[in-house]
Structure 1
């Protein structure tokens, strides 16, 4: 972990736990058994909205892969093993160790947020297990684990947008309104918040280069029940824009208190909390006009390399099965398995972790979330940057939230569905 990013993931404690696990009997990687893919995500706890679609995606892929896949070693069955991080970093590290030592997975997958991706990736790096991660800004994953431009990682690979990509689409939305360019920032004291607040790589570095002034009253603990000090600071500074990266319960608390205390910015653009329909719906009419980044949507012109489904078809299938609106995890969860299957198919030996790692490093695959290429990242390997578009929530006649695409500068192929509106006064 770099001193620049004060991300308190206690990485050393995770590595110590992983080292202790080496004393456990290691499961042999059988040459004629199914190829095992482990998948860790927050399926319960405050980050559960990230894992809402996991069972749906995995069940569909198990059916699609029921006849096995063609590999260098012939036709092989694929076994997918899910584990719940319970939205806790320590639990994420624990279940990753179990997947490595007890289940003997050939390849590890992990999503979402640095609280999950980083400890799992650290376990895999230490134990020499190939790992693919997503759904966390790449800087928080890379620098937060001690990566440098000169030295990356040997076993772990990640794809998602970066903070500069998020800021590009945020300012694209903000530039559509007449504001004083004063931005009030909400940064929790967690891995995500510390990455977004980092002066070297986060919003305090990027926003001034776009002509925006950062007002940061300081970090706060997750599950805070009183944002009065932040609201007062934003009102005093005259902030007309609010941004940050919050868990859904914290954003709901802040936004309701802001309304109660007469704070009315012209636009609010929030990562994490406003990505998911289930989280936004709890705000009721207060959600109208809020904005966020959109990593994947039914409007993205991509298709699955495994099932052939378009983004729209995948979203429709989810709605038909669940009765719920589409949600971005559908895309990134499906895509991480696309990368995994492609890697196993291309591996010189799909039962050998080193051979799998070598195939992973050369990935260049068109997926339902877009192109994933690990050879053209910021530092030449380990990272693929996937762009994001901008979205705004509206409340339909039935009272349900719907997300419009209102900024596509970074991905023009994603069609706009509406124009930006200022927040209702």
Structure 2
């Protein structure tokens, strides 16, 4: 809680809303791990006369649990700022709850158009309390188009396997989504009716893509739904030359495999953070490679892309707490977040540059899940995209 711990030092609490149970529990690992690493490092990172403390609550992988987590962090822990990561329904619920009670919130791992326009903001009416850093749906489209154009060096008819949730809906948006950016690159998009998630049958999509000779498929599906699509495509005797997929497919196969060949095998995806990214932490100088290695050594599991985003959440929170005019005042902290420009372990995050108020962007490169040496499947960087200084680690493999 926010209190004088020894008569002189005030403790400032950073609240963390993290999935520890429910369907997103595995995907809460990066934030949980980053919090463990940061507890000691942040203890001495506050303003003069203040100490930073971390407190967390389980979102239980649900919107209701997310709202309860925010309520408890504010009421019971006196959190001055709340951090969260990932979850198509959970992240917006955390942010909306923070907006409602008037506490600064910082989040990531969610395309910024879905976060911003999907929660009701517009260019003339930004949020008061909630801030975010991520890539955009248009950035995904350009990254995937870089991959598509490596297949025979031409433009393609691309089958779009969209769900009926927020990311699928906004990917189809005629102005703010994935579709206009992909079409601007000269590709034709075939967009059948969206499927309900989790999918039970995707044979209609398989038939539509096969009949239209769409040799590339793109999606934002879960590993489970993409595995179903690939199985039904194989049963029909048809296979696309390349699949590109964002969202859960940025995680290693050990997280989303449904048995047999993992859904990610050969899939092109986003490379937003890897051990090869040329970035260091603003707090302690830790490199991307060192963070990935620390995760593997301590957990025995394969590194995860969201590790970088999770670590950067704490970097930005510490920056706001040390630069705010009054770090004990939530409004002052919100102002500090909105004026932040910081070099982090995921690159430069700059809220003064937009693209809209409340949002800073993360650059993307193109990756593909290929058979590896240390792990069964590893994310190979196949295009450096928007990331200056990122080495390409492999060639794109297509059918």
Report if TM-score (shorter chain) is over 0.5: yes
Q: 1:219 aligns with which of 194, 198, 201?
A: 194
**Residue 378 of structure 1, CA deviation:** 1.5
**Residue 361 of structure 1, CA deviation:** 1.5
Match of 1:401 in 2: 377
Match of 1:359 in 2: 336
**Residue 196 of structure 1, CA deviation:** 1.5
**Mapped partners of 1:403, 1:341: distance in 2:** 30
Distance 1:79 1:319, change over 3 A: same
**Residue 301 of structure 1, CA deviation:** 0.4
Q: 1:276 aligns with which of 232, 240, 251?
A: 251
**Mapped partners of 1:409, 1:124: distance in 2:** 34
Which SS does the other structure have where 2:118 is aligned?
helix
- CA RMSD, 1 decimal: 1.9
**Mapped partners of 2:30, 2:141: distance in 1:** 27
State whether residues 114 and 140 of structure 1, in contact with CA within 8 Å, keep that contact through their aligned partners in structure 2: no
Instruction: Please list, as runs of the form range in 1=range in 2, the aligned pairs for 1:17-416 lying within 5 A after superposition.
Output: 29-30=2-3, 33-66=10-43, 68-71=44-47, 74-178=48-152, 181-277=156-252, 278-279=254-255, 281-282=257-258, 284-285=260-261, 287-379=264-356, 381-396=357-372, 400-416=376-392
Q: Deviations over 1:244-281 (max 9, x none)?
A: 11122212222222222222111100011321112355
**Residue 206 of structure 1, CA deviation:** 2.1
**Residue 171 of structure 1, CA deviation:** 0.4
**Residue 397 of structure 1, CA deviation:** 6.0
**Mapped partners of 2:27, 2:76: distance in 1:** 26
**Residue 282 of structure 1, CA deviation:** 4.4
**Residue 217 of structure 1, CA deviation:** 1.4
Higher relative contact order (CA 8 A, sep 6+): 1
Which SS does the other structure have where 1:189 is aligned?
coil
**Mapped partners of 1:263, 1:378: distance in 2:** 40
**Mapped partners of 2:75, 2:256: distance in 1:** 39
**Residue 30 of structure 1, CA deviation:** 3.9
**Mapped partners of 2:354, 2:204: distance in 1:** 40
Distance 1:370 1:416, change over 3 A: same
Gaps of 5+ in 1: 1-26
Gaps of 5+ in 2: none
**Residue 398 of structure 1, CA deviation:** 7.5
Which SS does the other structure have where 2:16 is aligned?
strand
Q: Deviations over 1:287-338 (max 9, x none)?
A: 4321100111101100111222100011111111112221111100000010
State whether residues 21 and 60 of structure 2, in contact with CA within 8 Å, keep that contact through their aligned partners in structure 1: yes
**Mapped partners of 1:240, 1:122: distance in 2:** 40
Distance 1:397 1:69, change over 3 A: closer
TM-score (normalised: structure 2): 0.93
TM-score (normalised: structure 1): 0.87
**Residue 102 of structure 1, CA deviation:** 2.8
Which SS does the other structure have where 2:269 is aligned?
strand
Match of 1:15 in 2: none
Which SS does the other structure have where 1:313 is aligned?
helix
Which SS does the other structure have where 1:44 is aligned?
coil
**Mapped partners of 1:55, 1:296: distance in 2:** 17
State whether residues 135 and 332 of structure 1, in contact with CA within 8 Å, keep that contact through their aligned partners in structure 2: yes
User: Could you tell which deviates more after superposition, 395-404 or 235-244?
Assistant: 395-404
**Residue 284 of structure 1, CA deviation:** 4.8
**Mapped partners of 1:360, 1:412: distance in 2:** 25
**Residue 50 of structure 1, CA deviation:** 2.8
Distance 1:198 1:41, change over 3 A: farther
Q: Deviations over 1:210-264 (max 9, x none)?
A: 1111111111121212111111111111111111111222122222222222221
Which SS does the other structure have where 2:286 is aligned?
coil
